[in-house]
Copies of this chain bind each other. A is one copy, B any other.
């Protein structure tokens, strides 16, 4: 079994959407998505193409209310490439008899191929091999090559190569009542020789997009210049080429495509730039070679090697981890760094229209992995937040708070994009949506800034951007917290935790819940970190920043007080209550519902359809309290709790895990990742089981249909990070890179190459040994720790610990 190839034999229209989602190509600058087979059955390939960051805001009336949406916009489709024989019917998969069909994604090289043979109504048998890349070597380029073999016929072949700007957004069924047209045509034109160009703009934000394509045709490897005819309609341009084909000829059509948008740097006018680009581009094979080299370099940085005691299982896991990393690198791409793209990390990658490309908190599961590989990507993605800091400050002010309140869902200009009503597709009803009360997204941002700094010691970043964000978030938490004189403690009222099943107390009209434990503890953690950053900043940066933010001693005093008196709810025997009053909820009839329904992951929809609500039950969509054990080490938690005057014992963690694990439906793909992680050391086989389930989130589309709407990037990265940080126990604390390996019994060895504070480190872990070797670096020494022992590493040294 190849660990580098995803392949599907045979064409299955029912599975096509899922397969296409999993085989999506992209490079961060643009992503192409496969399928939507019905929509374009007359072409060999049918992808919609998304434009990262190409947001568009449209007011739509729905269920009697005006909804303002921020939609991910489909780009003009550059892929239409079809052919016909003797002026017959244009090729369509559904209109021919398929003799063979194989689709293959080569993840090592970033190449998608389709190889098929078909017989048409005239009994022509033809073999077709299509190869497609979206260049990692040059963000502006993509290319496709179609090779056609007439097996039993000779005749005239006509090729049609088009750019279609009439695309709409209809990839998600339940959004189809929303306005689907976001693109308006500008112009089409033929450039020099074999180049055609189409320009369009988004209809609200007026982002301009230019695409150009150069189409070349080869017969038996020799360039031919067939007659060319151009078709131009509003928002559509096509070139038709006609030539004679003999039986056994090899006809090749190469389409190289370039893309620019009006936000790109270093351009004059996008029409000129895109035509220039495609005219200067090399031929397909050279583009493919450079693209393959770029992927090779990426894999060199990102691969991890492990030995499974069962080689078949190992290969299956390796393949899925490759797929997860592949999509991660296409979305959180190195091109976001080199292209100044100003994008964040959307929950569903750039792969589908679900969640409309919005940015949630998924970066919490993604950045810690990237930090130890190519932290430069994280830095650029954190800048997405920094550029929206002012909007977050305004949001806090409008809501009556201080500091910065980042939105739960974020789009182009950083305002809150969370819907205020939400469709239950099971009941068909629109319900109020309080999910914007998930203020915990702010702690996720602060956590990532801290993690990035720990991994890189990038003083410039924290001096200019990082510290300011974390201070403003701390300030927000402080202003959101209210002092309760009766308890002599601070509280955070009216918020939602990550578990979206609970958005209010049952039988009330209020919104939000009081003292969500995850929110409260993380608020304290953020405040602690903010105070620590004031000590870390070099020179007089802290002083200048405090002046600029008007940060007074009294305010810091309140912060310090909050870290000593924040309220955390408990119930039963040391169980941290998900929120205050959780213990009063009813236990849920898990067995009954499991019998009644096939799939109870989305209990909210099931209960909603029964006129009931999960608000009434001790039931979670996903890990909430357990997030604490996912993000913070036992040492850190115990310090926080002790300072707050709460008991934190050795048994607190397993007891809570056990309690909540039994009450979770895993309605979010992130849930299994967190549960697997927190069980790594305490319940290795259960952890391994959940890890394997999490691996299947997308490849098996375990939520039944959500993957074709876009992959689940948090879960993808989370599983890779379970191997990278979960099983190695990596943690940076007090300038030491600590390891605490705990391989699952199924694995005998794990090898990683990590980046840490300027070093490239080769890490090798077996059952009884940990070794860390440095590649060439002219950096200052670093410290590596295991248990009580800390060793210094310098230059090309290596250090070894017995486990």
Interface residues of A (CB under 8 A from B): 55, 57, 70, 204-208, 262-263, 265-270, 273, 280, 293, 297, 300, 337-338, 340, 342, 376, 387-388, 391, 394, 411-414, 459-460, 464, 536, 538-540, 544, 547-548, 755, 758-760, 775-780
Contact = CB atoms under 8 A, between A and B. Distances in A.
B204 A206 contact: no
A777 B413 contact: no
Contacts of A544: 297, 300
Nearest to A272: B413
Nearest to A205: B269
Contact of A776 (B265, B268, B300, B538): B538
A27 to B, nearest CB: 16
B780 A266 contact: no
Contact of A57 (B268, B376, B411, B547): B268
B413 A267 contact: yes
Contacts of A760: 538-540
A460 B376 contact: yes
A346 to B, nearest CB: 15
A778 B537 CA distance: 8
A359 B208 CA distance: 27
A459 B755 CA distance: 13
Given A538-B758, A539-B760, A262 B265 contact: no
Residue of A207, A340, A538, A547 with most chain B CB atoms under a 10 A cut-off: A538
Given A293-B547, A544-B300, A548-B293, A539 B775 contact: yes
A16 to B, nearest CB: 35
Contacts of A540: 300, 760, 775-776
A57 to B, nearest CB: 6
Contact of A464 (B300, B338, B391, B779): B338
A412 B268 contact: yes
A539 B414 contact: no
Residue of A266, A293, A340, A760 with most chain B CB atoms under a 10 A cut-off: A266
B376 A459 contact: no
Contacts of A269: 57, 204-206
Contacts of A775: 538-540
7 closest A-B pairs by beta carbon, nearest first, are: A539-B760, A265-B342, A266-B387, A539-B775, A780-B780, A268-B413, A538-B777
Contacts of A263: 262-263, 265
A539 B388 contact: no
Contacts of A338: 464
Contact of A778 (B205, B265, B267, B538): B538
Nearest to A544: B297
Nearest to A56: B268
Contact of A394 (B57, B280, B758): B280
13 contacts: A70-B268, A204-B269, A266-B342, A266-B387, A266-B388, A268-B413, A273-B413, A280-B394, A300-B544, A459-B779, A539-B759, A539-B760, A540-B775
Contacts of A759: 538-539
A625 to B, nearest CB: 34
Contact of A777 (B205, B539, B755): B539
A316 to B, nearest CB: 30
Nearest to A777: B538
Given A208-B206, A297-B548, A548-B293, A412 B267 contact: yes
B776 A539 contact: yes
Contacts of A464: 337-338, 376
Nearest to A457: B778
Contacts of A414: 266
A540 B755 CA distance: 12
A387 B265 contact: yes
A262 B548 CA distance: 29
B538 A779 contact: yes
A536 B758 CA distance: 12
Nearest to A273: B413
Given A57-B268, A340-B340, 11 more contacts: A70-B268, A265-B340, A265-B342, A266-B413, A293-B548, A338-B464, A340-B342, A538-B759, A538-B779, A539-B755, A540-B776
Nearest to A57: B268
A734 to B, nearest CB: 12
A206 B266 contact: no
Nearest to A458: B460
A544 B374 CA distance: 15
Contacts of A547: 293, 297
A544 B303 CA distance: 16
Contact of A262 (B206, B342, B536): B206
A71 to B, nearest CB: 12
A212 to B, nearest CB: 15
A779 B414 CA distance: 35
Contacts of A55: 268
Contacts of A57: 268-269
Contacts of A413: 266-268, 273
A204 B268 contact: yes
Contacts of A293: 547-548
